[in-house]
């Protein structure tokens, strides 16, 4: 029952701005703190020993508490959501806290869209209506899809005007197929990291302007899809099983060979050039065909100067050309087609359900979605509180820098202080008053309520076009703009992040919702969860990548000087040993370790004297305040067991994150009285700053 009321209340609290009367209740609601306290308790497995496995102790019963949640959420809200199949239910079951947030938010957005465009007559608002109409049409078209048919994309988007897809079209002509022209065309619809990577990014030496970056795909992007996934895609577009098997074997072989090109060293390094000189550097490649397909609308003659181009991994590109010549054009084209299908499938709805159509909408129109979420569900009264926590964390970190554990020279220290000082916090991708900017952004596209595939492709193309327009815009306007991130997955995710070239911590509006955040939460709870996340992002500005960037986000940070500090090297070696057994990434481990200390000291250092005479937790008197802090922190990471193949390998599996972070922190073991040899005591504790 408690669970039921928590979820009902969660939904109501999310909707409070739009539908203040939609939730009727018979009893007075429990306070936020009361609900959170019983929730915290219900997730814990008190039979586990906190010094042996704190994750089990804090999160052991979390999965049990989630099992029936989707069914209940349906009950609580309207009954319309129809889930016929058991697997669908399982898919919808949230796997972690972010998924819980995502699900609740999608439900709210869905209700908003279903009610249709607001009839607010105040006209900020004509602009807002136009945006919402587009969103609504995308959503309606998605809902009407029956079935979701990947083949439609291929019919709308041939590899070039001169040839069709080998599997589908009689127009296929290997003689006129150009892989570079095809890659260029599909790049303009958002496909990237297939054979090549092309991005518009802030310049390394002047982050307020942009340059085209041309590179090889990342290790991750060339990981073979595997025969199974290929067969699935081929069956989706109507190939027979037998055809699919044969083709999958060919493409799989191709992919594995291609992946090996990752090993080619970049002995030439970064080169800055201009588009027209590409052909001189690599005459064997048809660059003109590639460039012509990109949406660089202003040609060289209209611009004062042509856009700058940074190119890396030229030896890879030369080897790629040779490699592709050794394979049949048909195989190359099939490979590109399959990568395109995989990409589009990921953008589309995972299934045709209302919530999934909203998820797809958020991916397709990230800026519009951010604005709407901000305007409808974000509580502006939270902003000063969040800024206050951010400010406190910065002040404490400034003290730590001043203590100069690494014994850095004064000028270097000053550069770091300046960077910290300049670091900003931004809530949401956009400000709430940027409605007209968003309307302009989406102005060129029309959404048909019957044309899902066309809508999706038009939005994908728009995003790439808008990014390329940044190349020709003036500096003043670009400086703080993060719209260039619209193509990335993080633009539609609720997860906060640190953007190095902007020296900016960005927290999406949707993240500041229960169970993560509420302005009436205790300060302890606010620090243990949001505070930790903010501290983690701040530290990213000072991790092994972060130190390469200066206060304005140029790649001119004092990294060499810092690396020459013996203490810094010792600390890095220490953390690397934890990385070997857990997370893949040194910077993530470093951010976790340092953030825990930072947020703990920020909260308890300011709050209480260190003699620990603070009161017990008022609602859960069996725990001290400090114990409650660690439990709340750990519970943000509660989730279903994840496999190591999970998408977000940057962070270790969440369980390991919690265990390693706390085992590295002496205050944790002191508070729980963990003996020297217990699992929650790292033999060697690491510290950098």
The residue ranges that bind Zn ion (CB under 5 A) are: 588, 591
Give the nearest distance from C-beta 497 to Zn ion in angstroms.
Answer: 7
Give the nearest distance from C-beta 588 to Zn ion in angstroms.
Answer: 5
- Give 214 or 539: the residue with its C-beta nearer to Zn ion: 539
What distance lies between CA 213 and its chain's CA centroid? 21
Closest of 494, 500, 482, 481 to residue 530, by C-alpha: 494
Q: Give CA–CA dist 642/645, Å, rounded.
A: 8
Give the nearest distance from C-beta 153 to Zn ion in angstroms.
Answer: 33
- Give 550 or 588: the residue with its C-beta nearer to Zn ion: 588
CA atoms within 13 A on the CB side of 658: 25
- Give 540 or 626: the residue with its C-beta nearer to Zn ion: 540
Give the nearest distance from C-beta 590 to Zn ion in angstroms.
Answer: 9
Cβ 593 vs Cβ 577: under 8 Å: no
- Give 354 or 536: the residue with its C-beta nearer to Zn ion: 536
Task: For residue 171, give the 3-state DSSP assignment.
Answer: coil
Give the nearest distance from C-beta 541 to Zn ion in angstroms.
Answer: 11
Q: Which residue has the tokens 């197929």?
A: 177
What distance lies between CA 14 and its chain's CA centroid? 22
- Give 333 or 591: the residue with its C-beta nearer to Zn ion: 591
* Per-residue DSSP letter, 222: G
Q: Give CA–CA dist 129/442, Å, rounded.
A: 12
- Give 65 or 426: the residue with its C-beta nearer to Zn ion: 426
> Helices 625-636 and 32-43: crossing angle, nearest 10°?
70
The secondary element (H helix, E strand) that includes residue 358 is helix 354-364
Give the nearest distance from C-beta 596 to Zn ion in angstroms.
Answer: 13
Q: In the sheet that 271-274 helps form, which strands lie side by side, from edge to edge?
A: 197-202, 210-215, 308-311, 271-274
Closest of 514, 475, 380 to residue 108, by C-alpha: 514
- Give 527 or 540: the residue with its C-beta nearer to Zn ion: 540
Q: Give CA–CA dist 89/353, Å, rounded.
A: 11
- Give 588 or 671: the residue with its C-beta nearer to Zn ion: 588
Taking residue 290's Cβ as centre, other Cβ atoms within 10 Å add up to 23
Q: Give CA–CA dist 304/307, Å, rounded.
A: 9
CA atoms within 13 A on the CB side of 568: 17
- Give 591 or 598: the residue with its C-beta nearer to Zn ion: 591
What distance lies between CA 413 and its chain's CA centroid? 31
Give the nearest distance from C-beta 490 to Zn ion in angstroms.
Answer: 11
Give the nearest distance from C-beta 662 to Zn ion in angstroms.
Answer: 17
- Phi/psi zone of residue 404: left (φ > 0), alpha (ψ -120 to 50 degrees), beta? left
Give the nearest distance from C-beta 661 to Zn ion in angstroms.
Answer: 12
Structure tokens at 623: 């725990």
- Give 470 or 591: the residue with its C-beta nearer to Zn ion: 591
Rg (CA), the chain: 26
Give the nearest distance from C-beta 334 to Zn ion in angstroms.
Answer: 37
């Amino acid at each position: 029952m408690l669970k039921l009321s928590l979820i009902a209340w969660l939904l109501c609290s999310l909707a409070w701005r739009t539908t203040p009367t939609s939730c009727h209740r018979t009893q007075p609601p429990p306070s936020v703190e009361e609900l959170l306290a019983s929730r915290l308790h219900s997730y814990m497995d008190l039979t586990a020993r906190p010094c042996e496995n704190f994750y089990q102790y804090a999160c052991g019963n979390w999965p049990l508490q989630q099992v029936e949640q989707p069914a209940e959420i349906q009950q609580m809200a309207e009954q319309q959501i129809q889930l016929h199949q058991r697997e669908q239910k399982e898919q919808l079951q949230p796997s972690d806290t972010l998924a819980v947030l995502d699900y609740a938010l999608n439900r709210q957005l869905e209700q908003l869209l279903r009610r249709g465009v607001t009839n607010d007559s105040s006209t900020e608002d004509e602009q807002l209506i136009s945006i919402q109409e587009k969103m609504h049409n995308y959503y309606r078209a998605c809902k009407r899809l029956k079935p979701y048919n990947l083949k439609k994309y291929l019919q709308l988007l041939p590899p070039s005007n001169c040839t069709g897809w080998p599997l589908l079209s009689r127009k296929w002509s290997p003689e006129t197929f150009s892989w570079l022209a095809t890659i260029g065309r599909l790049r303009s619809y958002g496909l990237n990291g297939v054979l090549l990577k092309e991005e518009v990014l802030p310049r390394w030496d002047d982050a307020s302007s942009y340059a085209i970056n041309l590179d090889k795909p990342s290790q991750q992007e060339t990981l073979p899809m595997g025969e199974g996934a290929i067969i699935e895609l081929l069956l989706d577009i109507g190939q027979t099983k037998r055809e699919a098997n044969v083709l999958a074997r060919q493409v799989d072989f191709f992919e594995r060979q291609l992946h090996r090109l990752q090993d080619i060293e970049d002995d030439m390094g970064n080169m800055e050039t201009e588009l027209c000189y590409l052909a001189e550097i690599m005459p064997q490649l048809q660059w003109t065909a590639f460039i012509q397909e990109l949406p660089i609308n202003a040609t060289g003659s209209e611009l004062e100067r042509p856009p700058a181009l940074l190119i890396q991994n030229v030896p890879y590109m030369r080897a790629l050309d040779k490699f592709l010549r050794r394979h049949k054009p048909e195989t190359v084209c099939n490979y590109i087609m399959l990568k395109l299908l995989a990409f589009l499938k990921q953008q589309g709805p995972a299934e045709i359900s209302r919530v999934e159509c909203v998820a797809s909408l958020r991916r397709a129109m990230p800026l519009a979605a951010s604005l709407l979420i901000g305007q409808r569900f974000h509580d502006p009264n939270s902003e000063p509180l969040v800024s206050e926590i951010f400010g406190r964390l910065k002040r404490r970190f400034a003290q730590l820098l001043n203590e100069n554990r690494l014994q850095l020279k004064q000028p270097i220290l000053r550069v770091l202080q300046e960077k910290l000082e300049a670091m900003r916090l931004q809530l949401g991708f956009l400000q709430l008053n940027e409605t007209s900017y968003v309307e302009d952004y989406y102005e060129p596209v029309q959404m048909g309520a019957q044309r899902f595939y066309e809508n999706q492709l038009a939005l994908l193309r728009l995003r790439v076009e808008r990014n390329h327009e940044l190349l020709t815009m003036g500096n003043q306007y670009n400086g703080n703009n993060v719209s260039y991130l619209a193509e990335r997955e993080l633009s539609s995710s609720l997860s906060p992040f640190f953007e190095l070239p902007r020296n900016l911590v960005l927290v999406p509006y949707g993240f500041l919702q229960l169970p993560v955040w509420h302005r009436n939460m205790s300060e302890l709870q606010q620090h243990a969860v949001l505070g930790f996340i903010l501290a983690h992002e701040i530290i990213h500005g000072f991790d092994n990548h972060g130190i390469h960037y200066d206060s304005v986000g140029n790649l001119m940070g004092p990294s060499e000087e810092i690396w020459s500090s013996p203490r810094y090297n010792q600390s890095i070696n220490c953390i690397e040993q934890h990385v070997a057994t857990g997370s893949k990434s040194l910077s993530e481990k470093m951010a976790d370790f340092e953030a825990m200390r930072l947020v703990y000291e920020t909260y308890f250092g300011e709050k209480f004297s260190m003699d620990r005479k603070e009161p017990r937790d008022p609602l859960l008197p069996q725990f001290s305040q400090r114990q409650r802090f660690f439990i709340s922190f750990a519970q943000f990471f509660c989730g279903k067991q994840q496999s190591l193949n999970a998408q977000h390998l940057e962070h270790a599996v969440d369980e390991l994150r919690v265990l390693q972070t706390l085992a590295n922190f002496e205050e944790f073991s002191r508070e729980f009285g963990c003996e020297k040899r217990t699992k929650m005591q790292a033999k060697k504790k690491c510290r950098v700053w």
